[in-house]
C-alpha cells in the first residue's frame, strides 16, 4: 500500500499529459519522466526503498477501516488523520493544481526552523518527506527531538502550500509563525535532491541538546533593535570605548563574502567548532555584551546558550530571524557583501558591495565555485579571468592534482584535506580585538 501511494503521488496530473493520452510522461520523480508503469516501479524500488519503509510505518498508524484514497486527498496519507494528537499527517489537496503550477522553476527557497518538543521524530520525518514529495519540493530537512530545521525550494504555489500546512500542524501551534519563514528567489532547481532525516540536533553544534538546551538562549532582538545596537557599537568602537562584541557565529567562508561592519568572525570551518572556539577564548568574552548573528537565527539559538553556559559574558543578545530578516528591512544597513546560502546558489545579495577577492589575482570577486579537483569539496573564489587561465582549484596542491588525476579506476571520488585546509587552525585563538575595532574596513 505504501509503495502504491508513493507511485500515485508521482503521477503527472491530466493537465500535464499530452492530449489524447500517450506520448507524454505519466509519472515524474527525481527530475526523471516515466511513461511505463514498469519504469516508475523499478525506479521507486531502487531509489526510494527507505522512503517506502518510513511511509509504511506511518501508514500503519492510520485507521485501516476504509480503502486507500489518492495521495492528493487532504485528510491524510491514505484518507485518514493520524491517531497521534501531536503530529498531523495530512497532505494538502493539489487536485485543482496543474503539474506546471507545482513544478515551475520560477519559485522560491524557504528557510525556517522551529524548536519544540517532538516525541516521535520518525513520524514527523516521514510526514515531512511525504509532504515535500507531494509538493515537488527539494532541499534539506533535519528533524530531532528538539524540533525541525528546513531549507526547501519549489514553485511559489508549492511553497505557499507548504507554509500553510506547516502553520496548521498542531505540533507547531503558537510556536511557528508565518514571519518565521525566510524566503528568497529560487526554486527546486537550487538543490540536487530532497533529503529528510532524523538527527540528534537540528543544527549540528556537536553538544547534546540535553546538556546545552535552546531554552537557555540569549535575548532576541528584532532587526530594528539589532540595527540600533550595531549603530551604537560602531560609534563607541571607533573611539575605543566599546564594551560590546559583535559576533558572527558562521563559518569562515560565509563571513568572507559578507558580514556586519566591525564584527568578530571566527576562522572556523564548521559550527561544531564554535564551542571549542568559545572555550579557547573565554577571556575575550569576559564581562562583555555580545551581539550574535547568523544566517537565519538557528545557530544563535544554541550558540548563545553555550556562551551563556560559560557564565563569563555580561549579556548575550541574538538577531531574531538572522541576516535574512535584517536584510529585508535594512538592505543598505550595516551588513555589507553577500549572504552565503547552503544550496546551489551559494550566495544571495541585497547590495552591490563586494568585500572579498579572487584567490589568485586579488581582484574583487565574491562568486564561489567548487574546487575543480575531484578529491576536494572546498569552495574557491576565482574570477573569470583566472578561470579562463585554468586556475580553478582552491590551492596549488589541488591545482596540481587536478592536472594529474582526471579519473579513478573505481569511478568514485575521495575527499582529502588539501593545503588550505591543513594550514587552517581548527580553533583559532584571538589574541587581540583589532579586527573588531577596524570598523572602517
- CA dihedral 156→157→161→163, nearest 10 degrees, is 10
Query: Which residues have a Cβ under 8 Å from the Cβ of 50 and sit 6 or more positions away?
Result: none
| Alpha-carbon span 438 to 367, nearest angstrom | 25
Location of C-alpha cell 503550477: 101
Q: Which of 153, 162, 142 is nearest to 202 (CA)?
A: 142
Catalytic residue among 89, 249, 294, 398: 294
Residue ranges in 261-405 assigned as alpha helix (H): 274-280, 282-285, 298-309, 322-329, 384-388, 396-404
Residue in the structure block whose three cell numbers are 565574491: 366
Helices (H), 205-249: 223-237
Give CA–CA dist 406/419, Å, rounded.
Answer: 19
User: Nine-digit cell at 359?
Assistant: 584567490
Residue 350 sits at φ, ψ, to 5 deg, of -125, -15
Tell me if residue 82 is catalytic.
no
Measured between alpha carbons, how far is 53 from 126 in angstroms, rounded to an integer? 9
Q: Which residues form the catalytic set?
A: 294
Amino acid at each position: 500500500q505504501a509503495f502504491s501511494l508513493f507511485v500515485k503521488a508521482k503521477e503527472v496530473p491530466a493537465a500535464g499529459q499530452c492530449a489524447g493520452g500517450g506520448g507524454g510522461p505519466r509519472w515524474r520523480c527525481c527530475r526523471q519522466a516515466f511513461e511505463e508503469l514498469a519504469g516508475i516501479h523499478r525506479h521507486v524500488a531502487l531509489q526510494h526503498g527507505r522512503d517506502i519503509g518510513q511511509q509504511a510505518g506511518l501508514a500503519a498508524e492510520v485507521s485501516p477501516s476504509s480503502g486507500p484514497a489518492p495521495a492528493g486527498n487532504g485528510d491524510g496519507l491514505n484518507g485518514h488523520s493520524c491517531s497521534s494528537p501531536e503530529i498531523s499527517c495530512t497532505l494538502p489537496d493539489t487536485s485543482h493544481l496543474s503539474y506546471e503550477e507545482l513544478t515551475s522553476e520560477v519559485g522560491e527557497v524557504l528557510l525556517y526552523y522551529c524548536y519544540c518538543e517532538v516525541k516521535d521524530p520518525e513520524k514527523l520525518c516521514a510526514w515531512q518527506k511525504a509532504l515535500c514529495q507531494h509538493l515537488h519540493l527539494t532541499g534539506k530537512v533535519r528533524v530531532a527531538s528538539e524540533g525541525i530545521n528546513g531549507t526547501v525550494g519549489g514553485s511559489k504555489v508549492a511553497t505557499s502550500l507548504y507554509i500553510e500546512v506547516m502553520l496548521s500542524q498542531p505540533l507547531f501551534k503558537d510556536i511557528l509563525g508565518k514571519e518565521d519563514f525566510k524566503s528568497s528567489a529560487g526554486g527546486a532547481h537550487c538543490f540536487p535532491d530532497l533529503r529528510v532525516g532524523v538527527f540528534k540536533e537540528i543544527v549540528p553544534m556537536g553538544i547534546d541538546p540535553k546538556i546545552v538546551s535552546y531554552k537557555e538562549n540569549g535575548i532576541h532582538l528584532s532587526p530594528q533593535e539589532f540595527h540600533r545596537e550595531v549603530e551604537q557599537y560602531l560609534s563607541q568602537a571607533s573611539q575605543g570605548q566599546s564594551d560590546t562584541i559583535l559576533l558572527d557565529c558562521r563559518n569562515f567562508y560565509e563571513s568572507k563574502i559578507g558580514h556586519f561592519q566591525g564584527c568578530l568572525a571566527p576562522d572556523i570551518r564548521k559550527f561544531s567548532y564554535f564551542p571549542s572556539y568559545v572555550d579557547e577564548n573565554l577571556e575575550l568574552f569576559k564581562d562583555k555584551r555580545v551581539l550574535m548573528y547568523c544566517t537565519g537565527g538557528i545557530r544563535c539559538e544554541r550558540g548563545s546558550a553555550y556562551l551563556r553556559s560559560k557564565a563569563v559574558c555580561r549579556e548575550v543578545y541574538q538577531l531574531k530571524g538572522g541576516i535574512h530578516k535584517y536584510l529585508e528591512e535594512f538592505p543598505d544597513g550595516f551588513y555589507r557583501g553577500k549572504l552565503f546560502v547552503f544550496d546551489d546558489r551559494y550566495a544571495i545579495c541585497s547590495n552591490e558591495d563586494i568585500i572579498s577577492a579572487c584567490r589568485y589575482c586579488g581582484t574583487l570577486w565574491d562568486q564561489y565555485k567548487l574546487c575543480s579537483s575531484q578529491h576536494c569539496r572546498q569552495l574557491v573564489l576565482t574570477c573569470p579571468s583566472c578561470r579562463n587561465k585554468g586556475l580553478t582549484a582552491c590551492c596549488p596542491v589541488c591545482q596540481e592534482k587536478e592536472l594529474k588525476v582526471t579519473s579513478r579506476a573505481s569511478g568514485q571520488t575521495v575527499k582529502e584535506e588539501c593545503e588550505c585546509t591543513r594550514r587552517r587552525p581548527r580553533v583559532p585563538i584571538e589574541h587581540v580585538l583589532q579586527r573588531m575595532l577596524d570598523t572602517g574596513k
